[in-house]
Amino acid sequence: MAQKPSTPKGTRDFSPQEMLRRKYIFNTIEKVFRTYGFLPLETPAMENLSTLTGKYGEEGDRLIFKVLNSGDWTQGLKLDEIIEETSSAVVKEKEDEKLILFDNSLAGLKDTIRRYLKTRDISEKALRYDLTVPFARYVVQHQNEITFPFKRYQIQPVWRADRPQKGRYREFYQCDADVIGSTSLLNEVDLTSIMVEVFSALGLGVVININHRGVLTALAKLFNAEDRLLEFITVLDKLDKGTIDDVVAEYRNRGFSEKTVNDTSSFLQQIVSLDGDAGDEFDALLRNRFTEAGLSEGIVGLDAVHWIQNIVKKQTKPGLPLPQIYHSLTLARGLDYYTGTIFEVKAAEGTLKSSICGGGRYDDLTGIFGLKNMSGVGISFGADRIYDVLLETEKFPAELGQSTRLLFANFGEAEALHCLKLLRQVRDAGIAAELYPDQVKMAKQFKYADDKGIPFVAIIGENEMKQGIVTVKDMKSGEQKAVKAEELISMIS
Amino acid sequence: MAQKPSTPKGTRDFSPQEMLRRKYIFNTIEKVFRTYGFLPLETPAMENLSTLTGKYGEEGDRLIFKVLNSGDWTQGLKLDEIIEETSSAVVKEKEDEKLILFDNSLAGLKDTIRRYLKTRDISEKALRYDLTVPFARYVVQHQNEITFPFKRYQIQPVWRADRPQKGRYREFYQCDADVIGSTSLLNEVDLTSIMVEVFSALGLGVVININHRGVLTALAKLFNAEDRLLEFITVLDKLDKGTIDDVVAEYRNRGFSEKTVNDTSSFLQQIVSLDGDAGDEFDALLRNRFTEAGLSEGIVGLDAVHWIQNIVKKQTKPGLPLPQIYHSLTLARGLDYYTGTIFEVKAAEGTLKSSICGGGRYDDLTGIFGLKNMSGVGISFGADRIYDVLLETEKFPAELGQSTRLLFANFGEAEALHCLKLLRQVRDAGIAAELYPDQVKMAKQFKYADDKGIPFVAIIGENEMKQGIVTVKDMKSGEQKAVKAEELISMIS
């Protein structure tokens, strides 16, 4: 029966140590969400396959984990049925006109296999791929119970059948906050403030990039690439990871016109020299170009980005450094999804280059489920990546939530029963405490305290029992001190 | 494109209101677990199919949700391959000796289908069915990193392809605490205290039943049913839901000997007249029977149950009623699993008859993964059932975690920008607050506050801005009061 146990490829166990750190991240994010009036929501891990397919593009569809319909697949019974039915169909026809019916039987065979094995027969459910589509499904399904604008947060795992690699898992958590049913930019202000506040609470320096679909559309028009908008922007977005030469080469390879290639190239040269917090100069340049060309969506986009930036910066507490919020005009993040503002956050510390939070405004999300004209805006924190950055930059606090502060050593039944009364008092005081359950060598009990990071061990032998005292060992300094039972709680808390 | 959206059968969405209540349950349980020195653990939703199959009996295996292997099943491509390969094999052979090869081709066809479609080809992963088997897998896999005794808790959903019905879902949460690597009954004492403490914190009256495998084995021996131990006990366990006559009839139907049936029947008559908290009398009766028959495992079991009961009761705070902890000698809860103590908790209020918490000691759990001699004991809270009971008995507190306390009404851009500064101050004070994002009719804004249960609305129009005041409306009493901006926080907190 013995098997070498493991978890499936791309999935992980989280040890107590890792869990305490993860909970610290989740709790920090959740606390900020709550302060901003977002309320929790959860949807099931499984959605109907039809809810998910067609929402994430062809590549996305392939990465959805499908769940086999219930039934005794393990024992292969359904398969035996199929094989039985298939072969008896063939055999039956065989007894008549051989060759012709043989061909018919082949067709029949194909039909039989198809009938039993079409995906919708094998699988009608799938694991959620993100939190946004299930959220849209929820909003449409429950639209009559919801008061809009609806502000919800959702912290749950998602699953993707991606090729596992460093930092990419097949099960990972998303922490989303969305407002649906309001077009006001004040929502964008709140979401930006949430990003500032979460990373400030985690002690992590970040850069927040903001862009707007209007700016991207205007750029594509400016360089005569309007007919290939999506492609134009997708290439532009790569400036983030490559050089201008790479981007220009890709435009040329993809057969964009020489005029588009050259205009874009010289424009990029110009803005790269200004990018970052060059602010006013950069803005003026874009604004002029858009105005000259009569591209009002570009102006709308620029105004939105600057309005958000300015208001969030105004809210910074006096004396604190201003949050780093930049306008990144190449930021796109899956353009076919976002229709307004686009957000992305990267760590300003550590070596991780990819984003740790992102989001934007979408106007048509619930439309796919039949509810039109419902604009939403949301952000999503990547808890797993934030974990990696905090670990690398050593930003996790030493104390993470409540763990055992006191271990009562076990010297045998009489002593243990004596300890139980004290243990009860310590726990009633809200302090996590344990009695070592077995009477084993002290070295082993001390090792247990050490491994578990328990700071104090209470030693109560025959003497201590008689005198009504407790010898407390400080595991860090190694010092031992005898205190009265009544003093125990104040000593360790 | 429009689809009527829904969740898969037996699964549920949890609205903000439901989530706040669920979190209250989870947080209460988690806080108690922590106080007792248990630390969090999480395992992936998917386990290797081989980890799960064969662990839950035949019926259990059928209820495991299997996940389809990655690949383009959606488009039916894999199936087309199978059909192509299958038919070309048949056609090829057809060209030779027809009838004989026709038979061969059928065999070949069967092989081909089998080869492609054995479950281990379709599915190698499955959704976890409970938290215990993944925990055992974790312990074996990480045995060299773990310090024993290992005390962990785990609060995660599990999935079962059960027929959905009232109170039974296909996705539900389990909240488990286990100690592994210690045989001491002090662990049972801790777990019993945890049950007492959790339900006391939730304000719910409960009955805790305890039994011991030794008692069950001794009973089976006493009535000459040792050779059909499991069956004997399974029937006995039904006394919980039926009458003695039902149980006796079932023994007879199943062909137990007349002696077994009659002896068991008269014994049951005798104990039913004593059951409940008859304590001493009941114990004496059993103890005598076991002693006379030389059934030492029965005595060991009785001693264990009474020891746990007495110690936990001793820990009750003076003045509080003693927790209701009974010895239920028919309690079995899946006997093939538990090897020592067995626990079960039922609500003493409301109409729910099934258990809301259960557990016990298991000696061989990690053995299935190759790690012998590792005794464990654990309990599992059924959060969904606890939710139902608390809702029915109206035990949920009115205030559940932090929700928005103040809504700033929106009178237009100038007023909104003015409010943002105050909003920042309120949030910085740790109070959840919102600014209504759109400038719409006041009636709509008040309705939003009402629906969301926001107790205060701040009204800041032109006048208030000029005078530096805030008009605060108490949504419950309907009263309005003008306060200075500085007084706002103390007023609403």
For the segment A314-341, what is each residue's pLDDT rounded down to a tens digit?
A: 988 888 888 999 998 889 887 678 999 9
Mean pLDDT, range B59-86, rounded to an integer: 65
What are B375-419's pLDDT values in tens digits? 999 999 999 999 999 999 999 998 887 789 999 999 999 999 999
Min mean pLDDT across B117-126, B310-319, B351-360, B367-376 is at B117-126
Q: Under an 8 A CB cutoff, do A42 and B94 touch?
A: no
Q: Decide: B133 and B51 in contact? Cβ < 8 Å.
A: yes
Mean pLDDT of B435-439: 96
Can you name the residues that pair with B377 across neighbouring β-strands? Answer: B179, B361
Integer Rg of chain A from CA: 31
Q: What is the DSSP letter of B202?
A: T
Size of interface A-B (CB pairs under 8 A): 348
Nearest CB to B432: which of A35, A43, A65?
A35
3-state helix, strand, coil in chain B (%, to 5): 50, 20, 35
Predicted confidence (pLDDT) at residue B284 exceeds the cutoff of 90? no
pLDDT, tens digit, for every residue of A226-271? 999 888 988 888 887 788 899 899 999 999 999 999 999 988 888 7
CA atoms of A21 and A397, how far apart (whole Å): 9
Does residue A359 carry a pLDDT above 80? Answer: yes
| Burial class of residue A381, CB neighbours in 10 A (0-12, 13-18, 19+) | buried
Å from A231 to nearest chain B CA?
24
Is 80 exceeded by the pLDDT of residue B201? yes
Are B368 and A140 a contacting pair at CB < 8 A?
Answer: no
Shortest CA distance from B197: residue in chain A = A428
For B147, the closest of A73, A147, A447 (CB atoms) is A447
A5 → closest Cβ in B16, B51, B184: B51
Nearest neighbour of A315 by CB, restricted to B123, B140, B420: B420
What is the 3-state composition of chain A as percent helix, strand, coil, each rounded to the nearest 5?
50, 20, 35
Note whether B424 contacts A315, CB cutoff 8 Å. Answer: yes
A276 SS3 class: coil
Across the interface, whether the CB atoms of B438 and A39 are under 8 A apart is answered: no
- Predicted confidence (pLDDT) at residue B99 exceeds the cutoff of 80: no
User: Considering only alpha carbons, which residue of chain A is nearest residue B95?
Assistant: A99
**Residues contacting residue B377 through CB under 8 Å, at least 6 positions apart:** B178, B179, B187, B188, B191, B340, B341, B359, B360, B361, B362
* Each residue's pLDDT tens digit, A407-427: 999 999 999 999 999 999 999
CB contact under 8 A, B420 and A311: yes
Enumerate the residues of chain B whose CB falls inside 8 A of the CB of residue A403.
34, 37, 39
Mean pLDDT calculated for residue range A466-470: 93
pLDDT reported for residue B93: 46
CB contact under 8 Å between B36 and A140, yes or no, is no
Of the CA atoms within 13 Å of residue A100, those in its CB half-sphere come to 2
What is the pLDDT, as a whole number, of residue A71?
Answer: 56
Give the chain A residue nearest B7 (alpha carbons).
Answer: A47
Looking at chain A, how many residues does it have? 493
Q: CB A68 to CB B65 under 8 A? A: yes
- pLDDT value of position B400: 81
B-chain CB neighbours of A430 within 8 Å are 35
Beta carbons of A113 and B113 less than 8 Å apart: yes
Give pLDDT tens digits for A100-135. Answer: 334 445 555 555 555 445 444 578 899 999 999 999
Burial class of B245 by CB neighbour count within 10 A (0 to 12, 13 to 18, 19+): exposed
Q: For position A51, what pLDDT does the model report?
A: 93
pLDDT at A116: 47
pLDDT above 80 for A476 = yes
A417: chain B residues, CB-CB within 8 Å: 311
Under the banding of pLDDT at 50, 70 and 90, the label for residue B451 is very high
Contact B83 A311 (CB under 8 A): no
- Whether residue A438 and residue B67 make contact (CB cut-off 8 A), yes or no, is no
Q: Which of B4, B9, B12, B13 to mutate: most A Cβ within 10 Å? A: B13
pTM: 0.90
**Cis amide linkage into residue A164, ω under 30° from 0:** no
How much is the pLDDT for B174? 96
* A40 has pLDDT over 90: yes
Mean pLDDT of the region B278-289: 80
**Whether the predicted pLDDT of B108 surpasses 50:** yes
Output the average pLDDT for chain B: 87
What integer pLDDT is reported at residue A368 of this predicted model? Answer: 86
pLDDT for residue B422? 94
B165, pLDDT greater than 60? yes
Identify the weakest region by mean pLDDT among B27-41, B109-123, B246-260, B367-381. Answer: B109-123
Tell me if A196 sits within 8 A of A291, measured CB to CB.
no
- Interface contact flag, A183 B51, Cβ < 8 Å: no
> What percentage of chain B exceeds 90 in pLDDT?
67
Determine whether the interchain pair A171/B45 forms a contact, defined as Cβ–Cβ distance below 8 Å: yes
Report residue B437's pLDDT band, with 50, 70 and 90 as the boundaries: very high
Give chain B positions within 8 Å (CB) of A401. Answer: 34
Segment B98-120 mean pLDDT = 49
Task: Over range B111-116, report the average pLDDT.
Answer: 52
Q: Is B6 helix (H, G, I), strand (E, B) or coil?
A: coil
Q: Minimal Cα–Cα distance from B273 to chain A, Å?
A: 34
Out of A5, A417, A448, the one facing B147 most closely (by C-beta) is A448
Kindly state the average pLDDT of the residues B147-173. 94
Residue ranges of alpha helices (H) inside B324-461 are 383-392, 413-428, 442-451
What's the pLDDT score for residue A330?
84
Contact B369 A3 (CB under 8 A): yes
With an 8 Å Cβ cutoff, are B15 and A110 in contact? no
Taking 90 as the threshold, does the pLDDT of residue B347 lie above it? yes
Using the predicted structure, report yes or no on whether residue A221 has a pLDDT greater than 80.
yes
Min Cα distance A240 → chain B (Å) is 31
Contact assignment for A370 to B19 by CB distance below 8 Å: no
Which pLDDT belongs to residue B398?
A: 86
Over 90: is that where the pLDDT of B292 sits? Answer: yes
Instruction: Please tell me which residue, B109 or B289, carries the higher pLDDT value.
Output: B289
**Residue contact A431–B35, C-beta within 8 A:** yes
**Selected residue with higher pLDDT from B436 and B124:** B436
Task: Nearest chain A residue to B367 by CA: give it.
Answer: A2
Report CB contact under 8 Å: B369, A114: no
Give which of B180, B372, B420 to mutate to test A binding, by max A Cβ within 10 Å. Answer: B420
- Residue A55 tokens read as 């929402």
Q: Which candidate, B343, B48, B283, B434, places its Cα nearest to that of A3? A: B48
Say which of A19, A68, A86 has its CB closest to residue B67: A68
Would the pLDDT of A276 be above 60? no
Which residues in chain A are closer than 8 Å to B2, comparing Cβ atoms?
368-370
B-chain CB neighbours of A66 within 8 Å are 67-68, 73-74
A51, closest residue in chain B (CA to CA): B5
Residue B485 has pLDDT above 90, yes or no: no
CA distance A182 to chain B (A): 7
**Average pLDDT of span A56-72:** 81
Q: In this predicted structure, what is the pLDDT of residue B181?
A: 96
One-letter identity of residue B394:
E
> What is residue A75's predicted lDDT score, i.e. its pLDDT?
39
| Closest Cβ–Cβ partner in B8, B68, B106 for A66 | B68
